Structure 1
Amino acid sequence: MSVKHWGEGPEPALMLHCTLAQGSAWAGVARHLRERLTISAPDLLAHGEGPEYDPAQDFHDQATEAAARHLTPDTHLIGHSFGATIALRLALDHPGRVKTLTLIEPVLFCAATGPGRAAHDAYIADVPKALAQGDTAAAARIFLRLWGSGDFDAMPAGLQTYITDRIWIPGATEPALIDDRALILPRLPHLKTPTLLLQGALSPPVIAEITTQLARVLPNARSQTLPGAAHMAPLTHAAATAQAIAAFFDTAAPIFSPRMPGG
């Protein structure tokens, strides 16, 4: 099944996962929000049982188009990492359909220009070098060490294969996330959707640079840092992540309030 579902709450939510994951990655967060939301979490392009990638097209374009099929009216849109960049783009493309926007460490690298971005670029350059040598396992180890997704060599063989089969995906997202081919940055000042920018206190410095810039240019955004968490907070700190989202809903009025006649 390419879409996971949780909850029977009064309002819909769409959750978009990070690179190399699947929709099921949201299970922990969803468990804490299921009474409040009816949640859908699809497998994104080239992940799990999600749509297949057409190399003749831009990866981010295709991923956004596929995710848009799950976007219903008045949706609470929640994304993590790569999924957060898709969520942001959906909110820009379909502002009338998104009730709130939660971005958990969006890897929109074009928004960062400081030393954190320079350190990220220097480190991650070893991934394409490993791929050029055909060493997908080495590329996976480098990527996972940066983003705190676990020890590759300690993972079950099936999970290792799942990751190495998809370790090309971060490179395929670069036209959108590094070069801003999707023209996300120029459109940010026009996004009025209530937005939560959530980051882990222990995440790579580039994340803080991205979050700071987005908080500066988005007109209706607030940022929050989760103590003790790193990039994979939806998995490692599911309860705290869900609590932050729920608190955001409480203050992004009018949320979960009855609609007045004619409203």
Structure 2
Amino acid sequence: MAHHVQNSDRTLVLLHGAPLTPEIWADTVTHLSGRTVITPDCTHVPNSRDAQSILAEQVAADLEGDLDLVGHSFGGQIAIDLALAHPDRVRTLTVLCTRDTPFPAFGPVAAQVRAGSGPSVVGSLARWFTAAELIADSDAVCAAREQLSQADTEDWAAALAAIATYDRWSRTSSLAMPVTVVAAGKDGVSTPEVMADLARRIHGAEFDLHPDWSHMSAFIDPKALAGLIQRATAADHAE
């Protein structure tokens, strides 16, 4: 579990997607001054339909006190499950490019990854970033490329299979803490429509659409991403 410690009355938890590592948040953390920030390692994914819930409980057990949760993609589902299981500890919940409903198309992809014939690094990057972002080859693109190249296929397949069947549609409306739902206009999996529906079902949730973003575009500008996180988790927002 990676740490960046500053003074705060609660812990900011940044949960990464699959098959990435906590290092995807590294540049963003440098702009989160004045916070206690933890980036849990969720790379070892249980081969279970309940992988998100299992990882959520592991994260909760490792931390004390009140939490501000931020999760991207698979990490967003972990964050949702943690908030559902421990609503008394979660002060705010922010999810980026995630969904609370199944995405069955990832089932066959998981099988392909296990068989060694899954998506290529180039193909995955093309889904995650815009063409212009790939041409610019920023630090975020380079980090994603490196992490994809080194990803464990079993863990990646387990995450994809869990995303394929993940369904919290009937439960997310019970979330009572401040929730921010951040959507990317060019995300083909966590589509703006899916995320807008998630926000509509949670009383008081804020919906933040970025029309020009793809799945991982938020990481291109870590300072801006940190600002988004600071606003979503601000103390006055939680009151």
TM-score range, shorter chain: 0.7 to 0.9
Using the TM superposition, give the Cα deviation of residue 7 of structure 1 relative to its aligned residue in structure 2, in angstroms: 3.7
Give the conservation status (yes or no) of the 8 Å contact 1:59–1:172.
no
- Give the corresponding residue for 1:42: 40
Task: Give CA-to-partner distance per residue, 1:106-157, whole Å, 9 cap, x none.
Answer: 13343xxxxxx7xx94xx5763564475324x455544432339689x945x
Change (3 A) 1:84 1:125: closer
Q: Larger relative CO (CA 8 A, sep 6+): 1 or 2?
A: 2
Q: Distance in 1 between matches of 2:56 and 2:28?
A: 22
- Give the corresponding residue for 2:6: 8
Using the TM superposition, give the Cα deviation of residue 159 of structure 1 relative to its aligned residue in structure 2, in angstroms: 5.0
- Give the corresponding residue for 1:98: 90
Change (3 A) 1:209 1:5: same
Q: Larger Rg: 1 or 2?
A: 1
RMSD of aligned alpha carbons: 3.1
Of the three residues 222, 226, 245, the one matched with 2:229 is 245
Give the conservation status (yes or no) of the 8 Å contact 1:102–1:197.
yes
Give the conservation status (yes or no) of the 8 Å contact 2:101–2:169.
no
Using the TM superposition, give the Cα deviation of residue 45 of structure 1 relative to its aligned residue in structure 2, in angstroms: 4.5
Q: Distance in 2 between matches of 1:129 and 1:87?
A: 25
Aligned residue for 1:77, secondary structure, equals strand
Question: Which amino acid counterpart does residue 21 of structure 2 have in structure 1?
Answer: Q
Aligned residue for 2:38, secondary structure, equals strand
- Give the corresponding residue for 1:135: 117
Map 1:221-260 onto structure 2 (within 5 A): 221-226=205-210, 228-248=212-232, 249=234, 251-254=236-239
Q: Distance in 1 between matches of 2:148 and 2:124?
A: 15
Using the TM superposition, give the Cα deviation of residue 215 of structure 1 relative to its aligned residue in structure 2, in angstroms: 1.0
- Give the corresponding residue for 2:21: 22
Question: Which amino acid counterpart does residue 219 of structure 2 have in structure 1?
Answer: L
Give aligned pairs, total. Answer: 227
- Give the corresponding residue for 1:72: 64
Q: Distance in 2 between matches of 1:126 and 1:92?
A: 28
* Structure 2 unaligned residues grouped into runs of 5+: 135-140
- Give the corresponding residue for 2:137: none
Using the TM superposition, give the Cα deviation of residue 163 of structure 1 relative to its aligned residue in structure 2, in angstroms: 5.4
Of the three residues 179, 187, 203, the one matched with 2:171 is 187
State which drifts further: 72-81 or 140-149: 140-149
Aligned residue for 1:168, secondary structure, equals helix
Change (3 A) 1:142 1:28: same
Change (3 A) 1:227 1:27: farther
Q: Distance in 2 between matches of 1:169 and 1:67?
A: 18
Give the conservation status (yes or no) of the 8 Å contact 2:110–2:158.
no
Q: Distance in 1 between matches of 2:238 and 2:163?
A: 36
Q: Distance in 2 between matches of 1:127 and 1:43?
A: 23
* Structure 1 unaligned residues grouped into runs of 5+: 47-51, 111-116, 255-263
